[in-house]
Amino acid sequence: MTTSSAGPADAAAPHVPVRMCVICRERFAKAALTRYVKDEHGNLSIDASMTSPGRGWYVCDKPECARRFASYRPAARRKGGKNA
């Protein structure tokens, strides 16, 4: 255990909002991600404004993630279900 100041260079990181890509689960600056929301039909569509209310899904710009997100289905939440 060390309390010295010789840590990695994370102290000077600017305060930017960070979100996690739902596919690769890496973290990116929110501005670098594409936000999806569910439309009235329950389909995921791009939230161009990034400000639509409700649950949002963030996907990074890796082609692999975009491809996998095409078949991504958000897990339906069940009441009281604690088991995965």
- Contact residues toward Zn ion (CB under 5 A) are 21, 23-24, 60, 62, 65
Q: Which is nearer to Zn ion, 23 or 37 (CB)?
A: 23
Give bridge partners of residue 29 from the DSSP assignment.
18
The two structure tokens encoding residue 75: 């897990």
User: Least Å distance between CB 48 and Zn ion?
Assistant: 19
Residues 30 and 61: their CA atoms lie apart, in Å, by: 12
The number of helix segments (H) and strand segments (E) in the chain equals: 1, 5
Q: Smallest distance, Å, CB 39 to Zn ion?
A: 22
Q: Can you tell me whether residue 66 is helix, strand or coil?
A: helix
Q: Which is nearer to Zn ion, 21 or 37 (CB)?
A: 21
CB of 60 to Zn ion, least distance (A): 4
Nearer to Zn ion (CB atom), residue 38 or residue 62:
62
